[in-house]
Structures are given as structure tokens and as C-alpha cells.
Amino acid sequence: MLALSIQNLQKKYQGGFQALSGVTFDVQEGDFFGLLGPNGAGKTTTIGIITSLVTKTGGKVRVFGIDIDDDFPAAKRLIGVVPQEANFSIFEKVQDIVTQQAGYYGIPRREALVRSEKYLKKLGLWEKRHVPAQQLSGGMKRRLMIARGLVHEPKLLILDEPTAGVDVEMRRGMWDFLVELNRQGRTIILTTHYLEEAEQLCNQIAIITRGEIVENTSKRELLRKLNKETFFFDTKNPVSAVMPLENTEFSFMDDGTLVVTKNKSQSMNRILAHLDQQGIVVDSMRNKANRLEELFMEMVE
Amino acid sequence: MMRSNWISFTSIARKEMIRIFRIWLQTLVPPVITISLYFIIFGSFIGSQLGDIDGYDYMAFIAPGLIMMSIITNSYANTVSSFFSTKFQRNIEELLVSPTPNWVMVLGYISGGMTRGLCVGMLVSLVSLLFIRLPLFNVPFTILFALLTSFVFSLAGLINGIFAKKFDDISVIPTFVITPLTYLGGVFYSISLLPDFWRTLSKANPVVYMIGGFRYGFLGITDINVWAGLGMLLLFSVVLFLITLYLLKKGTGVRC
Ligand SMILES: Nc1ncnc2c1ncn2[C@@H]1O[C@H](COP(=O)(O)OP(=O)(O)O)[C@@H](O)[C@H]1O
Ligand SMILES: [Mg+2]
């Protein structure tokens, strides 16, 4: 079953900026799905549309088969969301924030109190339950929003850059918590601009940039692609065939340029020696730009 | 589904109550002090110099008007400031991402406006009892006018809150529209005492009917047609409610 299916999603903000131009991806039930992309790529906009905070200007969104245009309330019951920036009232008390949210989902108060206790304890906030939210540290605020997002026990949990600005130790703790949630069968979508985070947590990764999905694949496949580099070899004489070499792919361009794709860890010497044995003389070589790599450079900046 | 909506409503209402009583020094005390001053100045000091109006002394005449004024101002103030601060702190998103229907959300906020409006109205009534003995001529009318007026101004405040983009926006309408309409709405005088031109003009002021009807409930005297007043309040209630729903459906001020 698909936990989420997004087709050709479009968003043009008032003022005319096109934030999403045809975003399409699916998330399988049980996945830990990473939406990876640099700032301004459209991650928050996409999540905004799924959770009704942003109105789409085109496309389809289905949550466990429910089209949000047909029955948004039913879809909302299945989704829990942890936003990028704090969006609770700082004057309200920690437990009130969680029980109120349960109430908005129609959970009776008695049950809401039980659940808020459960999740506040899990997230290490139970001692702070009577404290106004403004007295919490940044990391605690984030955990409060996770507790709030879980209180109606959604099948799909969406977290928007949950570890941005969180210290390393707490990040580890949060990762463990999320992995455990996912192991218990909850589908999780997480946005991030850290490859490392997506790599640690996600089994499926889509990359978004400038409002478009440019890659959507398993983590293994993505890492494999990232681990490769491609070179153009200009040879003295045109080449049309090369003996195979392990972990290396050879192909040819029309003008006789030899294209070599190798694992990063593999030495260039081995390849040159291999070509030399066959009497192929390499005059010069150029590195082919790696689109994914460029993208990650952009994210790190 | 009904049960879910009910729980959702009570959650919003509860949050609004907590807010009103958490900041009671801002929400409950100032209006009571202001209105008490009106009682002392206009009722005692100036009123003692004036003759009766329709058989009631001036203090008794203005008491219902002052109570109504406090209901109007506080119902409006509560929804506009609560809703705007909910937008400002972005915790409106807590409601928006939930399955709570818009009409439940509207009723939830209105329950806050009405709680504050009627609480202050009650406190002001108690204060007035220090100065006068207020008769109660027609209890259902008194209650109906208080409830409906509070409902209407809670809605108006909510609409203001929906449109408000910055803090200034929540005081413009109260300052330039509501306060003048209330002061000119017959709190301090009977419009039948006005010159023709002003009397006719006053009849276009909805607040005149609200205060008129409310005063009728207490004193049994009136300068307007109370049934017209009641009809108008019902009409306003329905129309403003529909406008609010329409705005929320469109996402005005809350969704981008
Ligand atoms: N309310 C808005 N009005 C206009 N443009 C917006 C609005 N919100 C976001 N944008 C623009 O849309 C683009 C995508 O933003 P966002 O979805 O927040 O990206 P991300 O979460 O990936 O950093 C950005 O260029 C941003 O400036
Ligand atoms: Mg973002």
C-alpha cells in the first residue's frame, strides 16, 4: 500500500513565484523516506500542501489512498507533522499543548492525558509538563513537537528538518527514537539537507531542487551512484573496443572519446595500465561533472 | 464524527478559557475599572444633576448601556486578539493540520469571545448594583440580547483577526468603528431626545438597537422597536457566521 502518492504537484505562491513545478513521488507504507534538498528547494512547501497549510495550484495528493481533494479530514487523521519551526504558543504549558492537539483530533480528554503522558515520557519531557513552553531549550521544543505530532498515533509521521540546529548528541538520540518508531511500523518522511542524516535513517531517498525531484531511489542505489566518477579519455588513435576490467565501465562517444566510469576508491593507475597493455595511448583526460555531487556541494554551502 | 467535533470544540473553548483567566489582569480587570469610573462620573457626579429619563434616574438609565458596552468591547477584543496572536505565534497550524472543521473552529473561538464578554458584563452588572437597584423587566429579552450581541461582536472580532497582518490591525476597527458606534449608540442618552436629523441617523446605527433592546429587558422602556432589534441581531449572526466560514474556506489570512 502507498502511504503517500504525490503526482505532478504544483505550487505558485501569490506574487507569482513557482515553488514546485511538477513534483511526483510515492512513499510505500513502512518506508523511512528522505526528502533531501538544499534550502529553498521546496521541501517545506511540499509538506505544507500535504498537511493543508499551503494550498496547491495543481496536482494530486493521496494519503493511504485518500485523495485530499475528496476527504482532507480523513487524510489528516492519518498524518502527524513536526514542523521546521516552532509553532506552538510559548505561553501554554507543555502538557496542555499536547492534550489540546489530541482534542483537535477528537480524542477524549481522559485518553489525551494518558497519551500525552506516554509520549512526553518517551521524549524526556515529563518533568517539564507544567512549564510554559517558552522555558524549554531548542532541543526540547523540537521534542515537544514530536510528542504533539504523535499524540493521535498517525500512520504517517512527517518531520521537516527535525535535527536542524540540534546538537550532535541529541541528534543521535532523536535518530534512535525515529528508527524505533519506524521499526514499529510507522511510515516516516523526513526532510533534510544533510546527506549523512538521510544515509543514517532512510531506506528510500528523493532529491528535490528548485521545485523538482531530480532523483528518487533506494539509499543503496544513491550511494552507489555517488561513489562513482566518470572521466573522458582523449586517445591518440580512435578506440572502439576495450577489454573488460572489474569495477570499471567503458563506453565510447561518436568521436572516439573513451568514457570511463570507476569507483572512487579504485586507483587510476590500474586503468591506465590496463589500457597500456592493449596499446591504447591516453593523451589527456577530463573529469565529467557529477550532477549529484554538484547538488551536494550546493547543500553544504 | 459529531463526538469528535464536540471534543474538538471543547478543546478550543478550554484553551480560550485558560487564556482569559491566565491574563485576567488584561482581560477582566481593566474593563471593570473603566466602566466603574463611568458609573461614578456619569452616574453619580453628573447624573445627580440631571432629571429622570422615562421615569428612571440617570444612573439606572445608563447602567444597561454600560453593561452592553462592556459586552461589545470585550467580546470583540477577545476574539481579535486571541485569533491574531494564534496566527502570530503560528499555533493556528495546530488546528489547521487537524481534521477540525472550520465551523467548529469558529464556534470555539466565539465561545472565548462570549465567555469574556459575558463575564465582564456580569462583573459590571455586579458593580452597578453597588450604586443602584436594577429592575429586571423581561429576563428572556435581557439574556437574548446579551447573548446575541456577544455572538455578533465575537464574530466581528474573529473576522478582524482573520484579516489582521500586524498588531496595529487589531486596534483600527475598535478605535475607528466600534467605539464611535457604541458611544453614539445611546449608552448615555435616549435617541428620542435627539434632534430629528441625529435621531434618523442614529437609527442606522446597529448598536442603538442592541442597547435599546437590552435596556428594554431591564427597564421596560425603549426608544426603538425591540423586535426589529432582535431580527437584526439574528440576521447579523447568520451573515457574519457565513462570511467567517467563507473566509476560512478560502484560507484568507491563514493558509498560503
Ligand atoms: N509564503 C511564500 N510566499 C512566497 N514564496 C515562498 C513562500 N514560502 C516559501 N516561498 C519560496 O518557495 C521556495 C521554496 O521554499 P521552501 O518550501 O520553504 O523550501 P525548503 O523547505 O526546501 O527550504 C523558496 O524559494 C521560498 O522563498
Ligand atoms: Mg524548509
**Taking CB atoms and an 8 Å limit, are B15 and A100 in contact across chains?**
yes
What's the mean pLDDT in A207-223?
Answer: 89
Mean pLDDT of the residues in chain B? 92
Q: What contacts 24+ positions apart, CB below 8 Å, involve B29-32?
A: B31/B70, B31/B73, B31/B74, B31/B120, B31/B123, B31/B124, B32/B70, B32/B120, B32/B123, B32/B124, B32/B127
Measure Cα distances from A288 to A230, A259, A262, A291, A293 in Å: 5, 9, 12, 9, 11
Matching residue, cell 573513451:
A258
CA atoms within 13 A on the CB side of A271: 22
Length of chain B: 256
Atom nearest to A54 CA in ligand 1: 1
- Among candidates A42, A46, A44, A52, which has minimal Cα distance to A27? A46
- pLDDT, tens digit (0-9, with 9 covering 90-100), for B137-149: 889 999 999 999 9
Say which amino acid occupies A139: G
> A-chain residues within 8 Å CB-CB of B99?
72-74, 76-77, 104-106
**Taking CB atoms and an 8 Å limit, are A51 and B97 in contact across chains?**
yes
- pTM for this entry: 0.88
Fold of A228-300: Alpha-Beta Plaits (3.30.70)
Task: Give the torsion sign (CA, A34, A39, A41, A47).
Answer: positive
Fold of A1-78+154-168+181-225: Rossmann fold (3.40.50)
pLDDT of residue A297: 67
Per-residue confidence at A301, pLDDT binned at 50, 70, 90? low
Report d(CA A84, CA A298) in Å as an integer.
20
Task: Provide residues of A within 8 Å CB-CB of chain B.
Answer: 13-14, 48, 51-55, 72-74, 76-77, 79, 81, 83, 85-92, 96-97, 99-109, 148
What's the mean pLDDT in A251-260?
Answer: 82
Per-residue confidence at A299, pLDDT binned at 50, 70, 90? low
Per-residue confidence at A300, pLDDT binned at 50, 70, 90? low
How far off is chain A from B19, nearest CA to CA, in Å? 9
The strand pairing partners of A5, in sequence order, are A26, A62
Residue A125 confidence (pLDDT) above 60? yes
Residue-range domain boundaries for chain A: 1-78+154-168+181-225, 90-153, 228-300
Percent helix / strand / coil, chain B, rounded to 5: 80, 0, 20
Residue nearest to atom 16 of ligand 1 (CA): A42
Nearest-CB residue to B90 (from A55, A87, A108): A87
What are the φ/ψ torsions at residue A22 (nearest 5 degrees)?
85, 60
Q: Could you tell me where the DSSP H helices lie in chain A?
A: 43-50, 72-77, 94-104, 109-122, 138-150, 168-183, 195-201, 219-226, 268-277, 291-300
Mean pLDDT of the residues in chain A? 91
Measure Cα distances from A52 to A69, A123, A198, B94 in Å: 10, 26, 25, 11
Write the burial class of residue B192 (CB in 10 Å: 0-12 exposed, 13-18 middle, 19+ buried): middle
Residue A264 confidence (pLDDT) above 90? no
ipTM, interface predicted TM-score of the complex: 0.89
**Does ligand 1 have an atom closer than 6 angstroms to the CB of A37?**
yes
The strand pairing partners of B44, in sequence order, are none
Residue-range domain boundaries for chain B: 2-250
Residue B92 confidence (pLDDT) above 90? yes
What's the mean pLDDT in A15-24?
Answer: 95
What's the mean pLDDT in B125-153?
Answer: 91
- pLDDT, tens digit (0-9, with 9 covering 90-100), for B194-240: 888 888 888 889 999 999 999 999 998 888 888 999 999 999 999 99
Residue nearest to atom 6 of ligand 1 (CA): A13
Nearest-CB residue to B98 (from A97, A104, A108): A104
What are the φ/ψ torsions at residue A165 (nearest 5 degrees)?
75, 15
State which residue of chain B sits closest to A98, comparing Cα positions.
Answer: B94
